[in-house]
């Protein structure tokens, strides 16, 4: 039988077959994936082959992972060399961010965008909790949104709480498999509950003390919002490792830099301090935003970007 992995809790995988039936499956032995140091062999969104065992519980055994179209990873832990696959076979990532409560830094957004670019996964940015914004803050958020729109990332101001901008969200996800990502506490599960009313994802608090989420969602899980429309809820991301990205390649993952590449005076320009650098010129004349260049600079030097 063939199916899609909807949930993975370590030992057990929830696999949904082509008829929509859910099966509790495990892995037989070890399936080795070539050249990948990942902490999880199978991820949510994977297509697998499995058979059902002849036992009272009717559990299944996964025998094969079908080739992935793509996948997105983060480092398993901060210092870890191992990567954790967040999800596989996704059409797009929805990055949910908040200006306050909790605050999402531009550095984090840019890191996520670069990671997604490197996996060739389109990103849509949702700015949630607009109900918490004063006039001035809303102006600031709209400026940030305009910046990302210019670069090519569709950005939306929403409030899950007040039901603002949720209708148009459905058009964004229709017929696709979307990964919902962002810091803990930004409202990912809240949005899921809103668009798929018959599920009941647990919602957490944002701690008053640290202004951070409390990691309510602990496992990635896929839900079917409508036939052919899938949403993957993920645990809040604290940071993203760029382990697989080479310094030389970094500028390729900044869309606003891409067109300029190869036109600097030196063909191997790193766009840090070289004379005749077109990227630095564009920064000077405002065609490249300072915040974006700051992110480039910091990623180039492999700095931790949790500002
Ligand atoms: N003011 C306001 N609060 C919201 C909004 N959306 C969600 N919240 C609140 O934010 C808190 C966190 O929501 P969750 O949906 O659990 O956040 P999450 O992103 O799933 O967090 P993790 O599972 O920890 O990654 C809850 O108290 C929600 O009620 C919003 O639009 N406005
Ligand atoms: Mg959650
Ligand atoms: Zn340059």
Q: For residues 141 and 99, is the Cβ–Cβ distance under 8 A?
A: yes
pLDDT computed for residue 136 by the predictor: 96
pLDDT band at 306 (very low <50, low <70, confident <90, very high): very low
Please state the atom number of ligand 1 nearest to the C-alpha of residue 186. Answer: 19
pLDDT computed for residue 56 by the predictor: 86
Please state, in angstroms and as integers, the Cα–Cα distance from residue 277 to each residue in 57, 256, 286, 287, following that order. 65, 15, 14, 14
pLDDT band at 204 (very low <50, low <70, confident <90, very high): confident
163: left (phi over 0), alpha (psi -120 to 50) or beta: left
Please state the atom number of ligand 1 nearest to the C-alpha of residue 202. Answer: 16
pLDDT tens across 34-82, in order? 556 677 889 999 999 999 999 888 899 999 999 999 988 876 555 666 7
Ligand 1 site residues (CB inside 6 A) read 128-129, 131-132, 159-161, 182, 184-190, 203-206, 213, 215-217, 235-236
**What residue owns the CA closest to ligand 1's atom 10?**
187
Cα(55) to centroid of ligand 1, in Å?
41
* 177-181 and 229-233 beta bridge pairing: parallel
pLDDT tens across 101-130, in order? 999 999 999 999 999 999 899 999 999 999
pLDDT computed for residue 93 by the predictor: 96
Q: Give the mean pLDDT of 148-173.
A: 95
Q: Is it the case that residue 243 has pLDDT exceeding 70?
A: no
**What residue owns the CA closest to ligand 1's atom 22?**
184
| CA 264 to the chain's CA centroid | 32
pLDDT tens across 220-235, in order? 899 999 999 999 998 8
Cα(215) to centroid of ligand 2, in Å?
7
* 13-17 and 2-8 beta bridge pairing: antiparallel
46 is in an annotated binding site: no
Please state the atom number of ligand 1 nearest to the C-alpha of residue 205. Answer: 27
Cα(270) to centroid of ligand 3, in Å?
6
pLDDT band at 307 (very low <50, low <70, confident <90, very high): very low
Q: Give the mean pLDDT of 240-266.
A: 87
pLDDT computed for residue 240 by the predictor: 65
pLDDT computed for residue 85 by the predictor: 86
pLDDT computed for residue 239 by the predictor: 66
* 123-128 and 92-98 beta bridge pairing: parallel
Q: Is it the case that residue 304 has pLDDT exceeding 80?
A: no
221, 226, 228, 233: CA torsion to nearest 10: -20
189 is in an annotated binding site: yes
Domains and CATH numbers, the chain: 2-65 (2.40.50.140), 71-233 (3.40.50.300), 247-300 (1.10.40.50)
pLDDT band at 236 (very low <50, low <70, confident <90, very high): confident
Ligand nearest to the CA of 236: 1
45 is in an annotated binding site: no
Q: Give the mean pLDDT of 22-40.
A: 76
pLDDT band at 269 (very low <50, low <70, confident <90, very high): very high
CB-based contacts of 49, cutoff 8 Å, min separation 6: 1, 2, 62, 63, 64, 66
Ligand nearest to the CA of 251: 3
Please state the atom number of ligand 1 nearest to the C-alpha of residue 159. Answer: 31
84 is in an annotated binding site: no
Cα(192) to centroid of ligand 1, in Å?
11
Q: Is it the case that residue 18 has pLDDT exceeding 50?
A: yes
Among 23-27, 137-141, 191-195, 243-247, where is mean pLDDT lowest?
A: 243-247
Pocket mutation for ligand 1, best pick of 130, 203, 221 (most atoms within 8 Å of C-beta):
203
Query: What are the structure tokens assigned to 74, written together?
Result: 């983060």
Cα(181) to centroid of ligand 2, in Å?
9
pLDDT computed for residue 106 by the predictor: 96
**What residue owns the CA closest to ligand 1's atom 7?**
187
**Nearest-angstrom CA–CA distance, 153 and 279:** 20
């Amino acid at each position: 039988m063939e199916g899609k992995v909807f949930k993975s809790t370590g030992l057990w995988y929830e696999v949904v077959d082509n008829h929509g039936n859910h099966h509790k499956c495990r892995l037989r032995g070890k399936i080795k994936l070539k050249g990948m140091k990942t902490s999880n062999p199978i991820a949510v969104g994977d297509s697998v082959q499995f058979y059902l065992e002849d036992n009272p519980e009717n559990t299944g055994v996964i025998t094969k992972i079908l080739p992935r179209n793509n996948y997105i990873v983060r480092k398993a832990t901060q210092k870890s060399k191992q990567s954790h696959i967040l999800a596989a076979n996704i059409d797009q990532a929805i990055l949910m961010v908040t200006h306050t409560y909790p605050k999402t830094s531009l550095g984090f957004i840019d890191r996520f965008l670069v990671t997604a670019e490197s996996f060739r996964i389109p990103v849509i940015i949702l700015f949630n909790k607009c109900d918490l914004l004063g006039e001035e803050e809303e102006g600031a958020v709209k400026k940030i949104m305009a910046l990302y729109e210019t670069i090519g990332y569709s950005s939306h101001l929403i409030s899950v709480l007040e039901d603002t901008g949720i209708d148009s969200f459905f058009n964004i996800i229709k017929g696709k498999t979307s990964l919902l990502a962002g810091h803990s506490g930004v409202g990912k599960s809240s949005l899921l509950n809103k668009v798929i009313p018959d599920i009941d994802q647990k919602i957490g608090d944002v701690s008053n003390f640290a202004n951070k989420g409390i990691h309510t969602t602990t496992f990635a899980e896929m839900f079917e919002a409508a036939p052919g429309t899938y949403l993957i809820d993920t645990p809040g991301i604290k940071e993203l490792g760029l382990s697989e990205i080479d310094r030389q390649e970094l500028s390729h993952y900044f869309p606003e830099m891409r067109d300029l590449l190869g036109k600097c005076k030196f063909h191997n320009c790193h766009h840090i301090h070289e004379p005749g650098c077109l990227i630095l010129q564009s920064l000077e004349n405002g065609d490249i935003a300072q915040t974006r260049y700051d992110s480039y600079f910091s990623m180039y030097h492999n700095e931790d970007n949790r500002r």
